[in-house]
Amino acid sequence: MLKDAGLVQDRAVGTRRIYQLDPEGMNALRAQLDRFWGQALTAFKETVEQPEE
């Protein structure tokens, strides 16, 4: 699943598979999370700063 998502790479070593993080995939994940949290925190800030009626 992580390989399909582009978050890890693997290579064969004998009869084993060695997995390591894929820096490009992790950078893409980080960018997506930054966008998500940026939007969520902006919406929260706008809600909190609305004057009470």
Sequence ranges of the domains in the chain: 8-47
pLDDT given for residue 29 in this prediction: 95
Q: Is the pLDDT of residue 4 over 90?
A: yes
pLDDT score at 15: 97
Can you tell me which residue has the tokens 């070593």?
13
What is the reported pLDDT for 52?
82
Residue 27, pLDDT above cutoff 80: yes
Return phi, psi of residue 13, to 5°.
-135, 100
Query: Would you state the pLDDT for residue 9?
Result: 96
Tell me what pLDDT residue 17 has: 96
On whether the CB atoms of residues 21 and 7 are closer than 8 A, the answer is yes
Write out pLDDT tens, residues 33-53.
999 999 999 999 999 999 887
Give me the amino acid identity at 46. Answer: E
